[in-house]
Structure 1
Amino acid sequence: MSYFNIQSINNTAGGKAFAASKPIADTIKTLSTLGSIDMGSIDSLPNLLGRKVISYGSLANYFKQVGSGDTIFVQYPLYISYPAFLQVVYYLRFVKRCKLVFIIHDVNSLRIDPTVGLGGMGHTNNTQRSLRNELRILKLASGILVPTDAMRKFIENTNKVSAKVIVFGLYEHLADSLDVPTFKNQRTMIFAGNLDKSSFLSKLNHSTFHYEIYGNEPSMFTLPENLDYRGSFPSDELSAQFSGGFGLVWDGSSVDGISGVMGAYLRYNSPFKASMFLASGIPVVVWKNAAIADFVSQHRLGITVNSLAEAESAIKQITDEQYAELTASVRSFGLQLRQGAQFKKALEDVLTFA
């Protein structure tokens, strides 16, 4: 039996420095330790009806090296049309008779506001219909890897899947160096990411707390002058800019909790920026209702709060000794993320069932 990996490229980031490609690149690197063959991006495979469907000949040619009983790891979602995605899955499952293991990075119908636009498989302007389409695909899996227990429960309870659903925890953040930095206590919150999707920053104009901001300058609003904007850096250079404090894992438009589509999605997913901060030795600030909040608290990886005002107050009260204890836990866990330990264990588990 052989292992293969398929993926597609999410172009919604617009080529910005904070690309969403590292989580996929890291999982591919870990899969290669199993001998998995990376088949690359299938974005160019749809070739009929305005690139909405795939000819049978193209499918057969693309997957000609795949044999019956082989295992295909699918980096989910694939950013091709829903009909094309269904074709790929049906061909591999029923023609090639392969086992399909989905590695869930996002369930787009849960995270994208249909009024803004839904890009990707299963997406219509009706959120429930889009979700049904996505779940229809997931139901064909032999095994599913998800980042949180909340997402596991959602998929199992909503979809009645027969596949084993395994939780891998926070996304791995592989690094050549296994030396996780040590930082001193600083009353700082670091935020890095897509600033246009982070309009809560505009509400911090009266805050006296030190916020360190990284990312492309937002086009939808102006950053308040009291925020310390440091510019944009490629993901592999970003952590070198940090000098201590806490990494802020926040989304949406409110500083008093998280609401709307993004708030709802944080109840299911594991934001990759949390892994980035922890692998860099930085403890995190997480919304109390986020899917990763209990994990952060139990493993002493940061603090969980209801609002940014609460976070500011809590950080001001943390002593140097308490911060040193926090960062010791963070460095230990960050080393696991750099080695991909959690994900490797989840892979071993899912392959015993798939």
Structure 2
Amino acid sequence: MTNWVLRLEGEQPSDNRYLAVQNLSTSASNVGFREINYILYDDLANNSTRRAEIIEGLFSQVKPGDIVLLPFPLYILAMNFQKECIDFLKKMKNVKLIAFVLDLHTWLYKGDYNPKTDFLLEQLRTFDLLIVPTKKFAGRLKKEGVSTPMLSFDFLDFIYNGPIKTKNWKQKIYIASGRAISLKNYHGKTDIVVIGSSNSTRENITVLPHRKAIELPQIFDGGFGAVDLINNVTTNTNNYDWDSYSAYTSPSKLSLYLASGLPVLVRSDSAVKELVERAGIGLIVDDLNDIDRVFEKLNENDYQKILKKVATYQRAVSTGYFAQRALLEGVAFLTLGINDSIS
């Protein structure tokens, strides 16, 4: 029996989604999975013959009894390619399929949503196991009719072995975002550093140009990283409802900050609120204009105590611990029937 994982190869855009797929395959290979390389193929949407040829080639080494791990979604624009990959593997005798769910973009759309017509939920129902971001994510899937066995990875790994800065207590918040950030309703004294773009002009707001995620751990020098869109931090979300989505998922920014050794700020309705609170690796803040009052209660000694707790998670996240743990539990379930972590 062989365990396989798809790995996205080639030069990718500076996008956390692609980095997450590559980090997943690295973690999987570290616990015995063999890699199947794929790229962002062009001209697939209206070319069924080419899709079939690529899929047959991708999975030519898969044999009966094997386990195949798919990042979900594959982030290939032709969504029929993803479905056809799943269908091809499901037709193979005794092949087990695991979906490592990184995103479910149909949950992001504003407006009417009907789980009965969600094509991504239909695909998830065909897997033998789902590894999902959080227990709340799993709970919503179940409510929407997905009965596939599930376990959660809780923290998305951010594999990193480069330098990080020594942290000291500063009344400072970092906001790293690929979307334009507006702080027009922020009236606090705490310094804010936006990495990306913002039209804010206040003296205590610094805007740094967008950088690749892998470069950011070398920038953070203290304070906290804002994971969620806290009240009075707004962004151009177009047709996406990021606020509601954060109630279910484990954001990549959380892992970026932790891999950098930076404590975090999350909202009280965030899916990771209890994880952060229990681990003591950050603070719960719902309104950015409350941050001065919250920070006034902290001193250098308090901050260093938080940093010690963050250090444990920094090592775990940056070495792929959480994906590896989930994958080992998943394989144990599919091969031995051990279901201690399965919901």
TM-score normalised per structure 2: 0.85
Gaps in structure 1 of 5+ consecutive residues: 115-125
Q: What percentage of aligned pairs have identical amino acids?
A: 19
Q: Cα 1:58–1:214, aligned 2, differ >3 Å: closer, same or farther?
A: closer
Q: Cα 1:66–1:149, aligned 2, differ >3 Å: closer, same or farther?
A: same
Q: Which of 190, 198, 214 matches 2:174?
A: 190
Q: Cα 1:252–1:326, aligned 2, differ >3 Å: closer, same or farther?
A: closer
Contact 1:169 1:343 in 2 (8 A): no
Instruction: Quote the RMSD (CA, aligned, Å).
Output: 2.8
Contact 1:109 1:130 in 2 (8 A): no
Contact 2:228 2:270 in 1 (8 A): no
Letter matched to residue 84 of structure 2: Q
Gaps in structure 2 of 5+ consecutive residues: 335-343
State the distance in 1 between where 2:260 and 2:310 align: 9
Q: Which residue of 1 aligns with 2:4?
A: 4
Is 1:297 aligned with 2:281?
no
State the distance in 1 between where 2:48 and 2:229 align: 32
Q: Which residue of 1 aligns with 2:83?
A: 86
Q: Which residue of 2 aligns with 1:235?
A: 213
Aligned pairs for 1:306-317 (under 5 A) are 306-317=286-297
Give the 3-state SS of the residue equivalent to 1:185 in structure 2.
strand
State the distance in 2 between where 1:235 and 1:131 align: 35
State the distance in 2 between where 1:182 and 1:243 align: 6
Q: Which residue of 1 aligns with 2:306?
A: 326
Is 1:33 aligned with 2:17?
no
Q: Cα 1:230–1:61, aligned 2, differ >3 Å: closer, same or farther?
A: closer
- Displacement of 1:140: 0.9
Is 1:213 aligned with 2:194?
yes
State the distance in 2 between where 1:53 and 1:317 align: 64
State the distance in 1 between where 2:84 and 2:57 align: 14
Give the 3-state SS of the residue equivalent to 2:144 in structure 1.
helix
Q: Cα 1:45–1:5, aligned 2, differ >3 Å: closer, same or farther?
A: farther
- Displacement of 1:184: 1.2
Is 1:266 aligned with 2:250?
no
- Displacement of 1:309: 1.4
TM-score normalised per structure 1: 0.83
- Displacement of 1:71: 1.1
Letter matched to residue 223 of structure 1: S
Is 1:139 aligned with 2:119?
no
Letter matched to residue 102 of structure 1: A
Contact 2:165 2:217 in 1 (8 A): no
State the distance in 2 between where 1:109 and 1:254 align: 26
Aligned pairs for 1:278-297 (under 5 A) are 278-297=258-277
State the distance in 1 between where 2:88 and 2:141 align: 23
Summarize deviations over 1:35-73 as a string: whole Å, max 9, x none. Answer: 3232223542874x6247865444323321111121111
Letter matched to residue 161 of structure 1: S
Give the 3-state SS of the residue equivalent to 2:185 in structure 1.
helix
Q: Which of 42, 64, 76 matches 1:68?
A: 64
Q: Which residue of 1 aligns with 2:338?
A: none
- Displacement of 1:185: 0.6
Summarize deviations over 1:223-278 as a string: whole Å, max 9, x none. Answer: 3343111223222221111110000112388449xx97111100001111111111
Q: Which of 236, 241, 247 matches 2:225?
A: 247
- Displacement of 1:74: 0.6
Q: Cα 1:312–1:111, aligned 2, differ >3 Å: closer, same or farther?
A: farther
Summarize deviations over 1:268-293 as a string: whole Å, max 9, x none. Answer: 01111111111211110101100001
Give the 3-state SS of the residue equivalent to 1:20 in structure 2.
helix
Q: Which of 203, 217, 239 matches 2:185?
A: 203
State the distance in 2 between where 1:130 and 1:42 align: 31
Letter matched to residue 228 of structure 1: T
- Displacement of 1:88: 1.3
Is 1:223 aligned with 2:203?
no
Contact 2:188 2:292 in 1 (8 A): no
Summarize deviations over 1:82-128 as a string: whole Å, max 9, x none. Answer: 433222111101235421110011011112447xxxxxxxxxxx642
